[in-house]
Every structure is written in structure tokens, then in C-alpha cells.
Chain A
Amino acid sequence: MQALGIDVLFKGTNGVRLLSGLWVSLRISLISVLISLTLGVLVGILMTKKQPVIRILTRGYLEIVRFMPQMVLLFIVFFGSTRVFGWDIDAELAAVIVFSFWGVAEMADLTRGALISIPKHQYESAAALGLNGKQTYFQIIIPQTLRRLIPLSINLITRMIKTTSLVMMIGVVEVLKVGQQIIEANRTSSPNAAFGIYAVVFLLYFLACWPISLLAKRLEKKWAVA
């Protein structure tokens, strides 16, 4: 224990502090994920429209998110907006804004892909059976789109959760930052804490993401479409 530096975890309230740090990370991801999923689906539906203005706007949005590193985006929103607009944005709020900005774009693209991947024939055979538009969407198109979408969006969710480790760069005291603090505070008494604490942080992230990944696998198996 001593050699690995895990003993530090049991000193004082270190363990609890780490868990509360994890909660900050999860809180940011949870809110961002919820915003991303709902808005993302709506924007994704918009992206299937042929309207040129909508196309250009959504396309541009997606490209920006694709090429812009999340950390740069965090700095712009948190530091940049304060300097230029004089806004005093809370770091956690800035994080949620950036992660949602990113998540909505990716979710929208996934939704668009899932929607247009439903073959035209599915619409036709529904129409040939006399189903009207609403029935076709609710009985045929939406269920199939969701089945395609859920494994993909779960992948996005886990990526968002683990990327929240970046937010310590704008001063949010989340699990990784708490870990660093613990390591710093115990530098002399347990010099090996760097290994133990980071390993525990890794384990916490793993425990947060793994069940989601398992769920994705199960759903994928259950809903496999030949």
C-alpha cells in the first residue's frame, strides 16, 4: 500500500474529497449530456432538411466543433469572454457550455446519419400498408432510428465524461484536481502518492463509464438489425 501510495487515500477526508471531486465531474457531464442528447436530436433532424441556409449553418457548426480542440474552446469561453465581454462566467457553467456545444454537434451528426440510413423502402412499405405520416414515423422510423442511435450516443457520452478531466484547466475542482491537491499535500510523507491517487482517479473514471459501455453492448446485441 505504502509503495503504491494508496495509503494517502485513507488519510483524513482524502477519500471523501476525491469522491466529491468525482461528483463535480459527473455533474458537469450529466448536465452536458442531457442538453446534448435533446438538442442534438433536434438539430440532427434539422440537418436532414434540404433548406440551404439551415444546411450551411449546421454544416459550419459541425466543422467548427470537429476541428476546435475542446481545451481551446474552454479557454475562449472562460477567459476570453471575461476579457472581451466582461462576463463573469462561473467555471462550471463555462464547462457545461463548452461540453454542450460539442455534444450537440456530435449528437446532431449521429442523429442525421441514423435518420438517413433508414432505407426509402421502409417508408414505402409503410405507405403501401396505408400507414399515414405520423404512424410511419412513430411505428417504423423513430424506433429504428433510436436503435441505431443508442449505441452511438453512448459512445459519445463516455467520451464526454472522460473529457471533463480538462475542466481543471479553468479552475474547476473536479476529481483530477482534487487528486493533484492530495498528491501535493502529501509530497513529503508519501512521495509515491502520484501513482496511487492517479490510479484511483483512473479507476473512478473507469467505474463511471464502464456500466454505460456495458449497457451499449447489451442494447446493440438486443437490437441487432440484420
Chain B
Amino acid sequence: MGGGVKKKGYVEMSTDSEILRVEHLKKAYGENVILKDISLSVHEGEVVVIVGPSGCGKSTLLRTLNGLEEIQGGSVTYRGVRVNGEKSGQPRRRFLNMKTPHSEKLSEIRQKVGMVFQSYELFPHKTILQNIMLAPVKVQKRDKQEVREEALALLERVGLKEKADAYPRELSGGQRQRVAIVRALAMHPEVMLFDEVTAALDPEMIREVLDVLLRLAEQGRTMVIVTHEMSFARAIADRVIFIDQGGIVEEGTGSSFFRTPKTERAKKFLETFSYDKISKHRKTG
């Protein structure tokens, strides 16, 4: 697999523009290995799309990038600072445990590595505007008025300014997901992680969310996207990483990966998305 060599090349060429770096990452739940020996890096302005069959570990990989998952080996670094460590891992639900696993350092990294989830996870007891303003005001201690203006401007850009004072329950799935994106953007992250952000949406709402992502890419945002939408992946990706059974199987530019996949497994995977090829495949097989 040429991934390792390629990665070294990146590092030597442009260490300064490197935002995230993953080296020999291993993730396992007991005996069950989810990710084995993953190495990759994300550079400024790059849109990296991670694809692969369900359960291949791509969402888990994404969650290691902002320390939401503990890892069992290797390292994840943001601008040279380790993301993983004793304090990373899933935030615990146990109550009255103020000694939580969020260190100051991790909080700072998470402010720079924004994340949008599949099920949006807005805070149901806060209005749209309050959802967006919470972290910039409470965590980053920014001026309330300034944050408010920025939040409204961002909402306007995704066409939801009139929903500022609504509650999440009053919005459709697509609208909620756009708010979740704005909420992450308001933190001024350096890189944004998107974890299957359209997977929970009705088909007619997928487009409105993907359009927002495409616009962000046009603006030169650094993004790491996990998605099942192949035509979208093709349109937006600078680089595609194909993961299967916990390892990187193939890595390539967006156009080359989809046009001429090098590995047999990637070919097979891409064929599952086009129906004429499936039937051909069945006849020959």
C-alpha cells in the first residue's frame, strides 16, 4: 500500500500547512479491532473525503480527529499537539463528575477542529441563535454582540435568518443540519469534520445541506468529510481515502479515485453505487 510513502512525501513538502496528522493509529474495543495502522494528514485548504462500506471504521476515524474516541496505538496530532492522550475519549455521562475528561488543551483543539454530526444534535432547550452563540460566548469568551451579529450573518448565508429565534424542534432535518454547520462555523475552526451529515435526512433535504458544504469548499475551507453520497464526494473531494476493514485501502485525488480506482476492492465498492454494473457483475459472477 502506497499510503505511507505518499504521506511522508506530503510531510516533507509542506509541514507548515499540515493541520492534522494521524500516524499508525490503532483503535480497538477489546479484541475487536476497528482501525489498524492508519496514517494520513490533512493540509490547509484541502477537502478530504473518507469513503468505505458501512462499519469499515470511517466514522470512528473521524471521531479520533477531535478526541471523541480513545485510541489504542499511534497518534493523532493537531498542529503538532497530541489530540489523543489520557484525557481524550468519549465524554462521560456520569453526573457530578466535574473532574471530566476534557482537559484545557483538548478543549482548545476542539475549538479549532469543528465537528458536525449525523443527527445534528442541536441543544433542544435553546433557540437556534442560542445554540450558535453558546460556545463562542461561553468557551471563547467573545463579545456577545459581535458573536450575535456573526451568527445572524452566517444564518443568512444558509437561508435561515428568520429562524434565529425558533427552537430546533420547529425546524426540518435539513434546516437543523444547516444550523449545526453554522454552529460549528461560528467557532472559527481551522478544519471541519463532517460525519455522514446527510445520512439521517430525507432525500429532498440532502441537497440543501450538500450545497452548503460545496460553498464552504469553494471558500477554501479545510474539511474532512465522511459520506455515502458518491456523486457529492466526487464533486467536492481534493483527495479521497477509501477505507475497508479498518485500513486505508486506496488514496487518490477525487477524479482519479472515481474514474480509475486502482484496487479491486475500491472497484467493487464503487460498483455497488451504480445499478447497471451490479447486474452485469451478477451475470458474470
Contact = CB atoms under 8 A, between A and B. Distances in A.
A226 B169 contact: yes
B125 A127 contact: no
A134 B90 CA distance: 16
B189 to A, nearest CB: 10
Given A129-B187, A131-B138, A124 B90 contact: yes
Given A122-B121, A139-B134, A132 B102 contact: yes
Contacts, number: 107
A140 interface: yes
Contacts of A123: 90-93
Given A121-B121, A127-B68, A147-B125, A133 B97 contact: yes
Q: How large is the interface on A (under 10, 10 to 19, 20 to 34, 35 or more residues)?
A: 35 or more
A78 to B, nearest CB: 35
Contacts of A143: 125
A124 B88 CA distance: 12
Contacts of B280: none
A26 interface: no
Contacts of A124: 68, 90-91, 117, 121
Contacts of B102: 127, 131-133
A147 B119 CA distance: 22
B169 A224 contact: yes
A141 B97 CA distance: 13
A94 to B, nearest CB: 32
Interface residues of B, number: 41
Interface stretch (A42-50, A67-75, A162-170): A42-50
A175 to B, nearest CB: 39
Nearest to B88: A127
Nearest to B111: A130
Given A121-B117, A133-B102, A140-B123, A127 B110 contact: yes
Given A123-B90, A132-B100, 11 more contacts: A121-B121, A127-B91, A128-B66, A130-B110, A135-B139, A137-B95, A137-B98, A224-B169, A225-B169, A226-B168, A226-B170
9 contacts: A48-B93, A50-B94, A127-B68, A128-B110, A129-B110, A129-B139, A134-B100, A141-B95, A143-B125
